Amino acid sequence: MIRPYQSQHLTPLLIDDPAERDKAKREADQLPSVLISSASAANTVMLGGGYFTPLSGFMDKSDAMTVSKTLHTQDGLFWPVPVLCRTETANGLEVGHSVALKDPNLPDNPVIAIIDNVRIEDLDQSEVREICGQVYRTHDPGHPGVKDFVEQGNVILSGPIRVLNFSYFETEFPDTFRTAVQIRESIRSLGWNRVIAFQTRNPMHRAHEELCRMAMNRIGADGCIIHMLLGRLKPGDIPADVRDAAIRAMVDGYFEPGKIMISGYGFDMLYAGPREAVLHAIFRQNMGATHFIVGRDHAGVGDYYGAFDAQTIFDREVPKGALDIEVFRADHTAWSSKLRKVVMMREAPNHDVSDFMLISGTKLRQMLSRGEVPPAEISRPEVAQILIDHYQNNP
């Protein structure tokens, strides 16, 4: 099996032993505590589940700034985005002591983790701006990732952590949420060797379905992991439970049994385009995938990134040999009226734009909101009906 990123073993930071975890919970009740941001809680979940291997905790300001500028930590680890714990205030906290981190995404804000030997630093506005410019390539507050980053508290807490739970993800998505550890165990038990992963924050339509099938066939994959983001998205995106149902309807109806693993991970979307595509590749290597699909405008939003910037970053900025996972580079996929199938557009000679059935995301949402089933070449009817029900119940 492919090794974890820059490590021989996964480093999940969840306290695995139930007795030790209960002891840590009692300890946390006696510690000074602080409410952290949603993004910080998501980082905690990812650290707990092994997706951030080989990190041992949150980055300090020096690492955050160095990663933003050079894509490397102070000790030379290639890493694409800062992994921070941010809060509004450090009142009552002492440097070098332990701190209980409270989850903003659950009622009563239970403790999600403990930072030991904490370091406390402030990000000033110029540093926030610099990170946004480097990671998101824009300072525009209209960019949802920038907006979220700017609005988080500017106190940084760093140090090794002990994770106590996975927030709401295990209870709200018991059939879907999986840690990197659990996915590796599933791959091993299935006997898969070549495994391709597909990232999604959206429902999957016909083009996505066929892209997964194409990729599996071309690399000779034993299976494909459809790995959906379950955390916070921008307003207007489809909620995770609806996406989950739509993806399961597609897989159950149209894929060969035993070839697809549906799973999800507890992370808030960054919309950081190329930088986030590299982070996504690290996640998938850590969970055991050997190949990862990176398509057009992967992890992008609006017109902030070029159509294929998320692919070219692997050539221009990822050091040779840093990643073991292989990237499957996909073009825009669409139904060809000439060939009567979904194809990658760059692989369809003698085609004009009019030979493809193309519907914008905006137009598709408008159709679904009106209760109109899109053409079968665009969306499977079972998927469309789930989305129609959602839009009509949430006008």
Across 311-330, b (16+ Cβ under 10 Å) vs e yields bebbeeebeeebbebbbbbb
Q: Are 34 and 93 spatial neighbours (Cβ–Cβ below 8 Å)?
A: yes
Annotated active-site residue in 194, 202, 329, 365: 202
Q: How far apart are CA 70 and CA 68, in angstroms?
A: 6
Q: Which structure tokens are listed for 180?
A: 């990197």
Residue matched to tokens 């904490």: 118
- Per the annotation, the verdict on 165 as an active-site residue is no
Q: Are 114 and 27 spatial neighbours (Cβ–Cβ below 8 Å)?
A: yes
Sheet with 333-336: list strands edge to edge.
341-344, 333-336, 356-357
Annotated active-site residue in 86, 178, 184, 201: 201
Residues 6 or more apart whose Cβ sits within 8 Å of residue 330? 211, 214, 215, 293, 294, 295, 296, 344
Q: Which structure tokens are listed for 45?
A: 């979940």
Q: How far apart are CA 312 and CA 307, in angstroms?
A: 10
- Per the annotation, the verdict on 201 as an active-site residue is yes
The catalytic site residues sit at 201-202
